[in-house]
């Protein structure tokens, strides 16, 4: 195995204009897939990686400039937004073969404010989804239905947070034609969209109650 001394990594960060205190912290990192096409089932795919993991050229890393104990929830919040259908819908027209930082800059990502209950819930759901996804990959659970339901709750909450109405949400969901046809073939319905609509209706009912 090859490794570099911490001092060398710190120096490299400084050369690139990156704050070593932020980029070498012990918290989570946000990774996103670089190679992508706008006619894939999903274009924008992100994940949370714990400390000790590194990313390759094809999976760039994002670390927020926030204080210690806010790094994990703020990253989870951003990950939840970027993995949503709504943000995928926004970025797809600008993606050909790669997603670079300048492409992500097109996305109107609201600032992370932990005092906002909806933002905190997005962060919590994102962390729950990430944890369950890890369990599924490691074979610790087979609850793919629970994972799909969590994703639907997160997507519905993001749509609600962005103040989409049901018509606008349907426009977003139905634009993912490859995924729709794939799920109809596998499940007989566009299951992701249907679950999101159900969760969105629950949120709308609560607001209007």
- Residue with token string 């749509």: 159
Taking the complete model, does pTM exceed 0.85, yes or no? no
pLDDT at 78 over 60: yes
* 139-185 pLDDT tens trace: 766 667 888 999 999 999 999 999 999 999 999 999 999 999 999 99
Rounded distance between C-alpha atoms, residue 63 and residue 78, angstroms? 10
126 within 8 A of 77, measured Cβ to Cβ:
yes
Concatenated DSSP letters of 9-40: HHHHHHHTT--HHHHTSSS-EEEE--B--TTS
**62 beta partners:** 30
pLDDT range class, residue 207, cuts 50, 70, 90 = low
Rounded distance between C-alpha atoms, residue 127 and residue 75, angstroms? 9
């Amino acid at each position: 195995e090859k490794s570099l001394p911490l001092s060398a990594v710190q120096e490299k960060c400084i050369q690139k204009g990156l704050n070593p205190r932020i980029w070498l912290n012990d918290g989570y990192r946000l990774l996103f897939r670089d190679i992508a096409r706008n006619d894939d089932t999903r274009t924008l795919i992100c994940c949370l990686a714990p400390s000790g993991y590194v990313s390759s050229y094809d999976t760039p890393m994002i670390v927020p400039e926030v204080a210690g104990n806010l790094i994990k929830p703020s990253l989870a919040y951003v990950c939840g937004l970027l993995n949503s259908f709504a943000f995928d819908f926004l970025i797809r027209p600008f993606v050909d073969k790669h997603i670079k930082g300048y492409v992500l800059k097109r996305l109107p990502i609201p600032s992370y404010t932990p005092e906002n209950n909806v933002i905190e819930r997005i962060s919590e759901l994102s962390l729950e989804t990430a944890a369950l996804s890890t369990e599924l990959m490691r074979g610790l659970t087979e609850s793919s239905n629970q994972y799909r339901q969590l994703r639907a709750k997160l997507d519905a909450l993001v749509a609600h947070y962005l103040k989409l109405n049901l018509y606008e949400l349907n426009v977003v969901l139905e634009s993912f034609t490859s995924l729709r046809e794939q799920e109809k073939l596998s499940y007989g319905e566009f299951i992701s969209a249907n679950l999101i609509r159900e969760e969105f209706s629950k949120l709308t009912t609560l607001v209007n109650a």
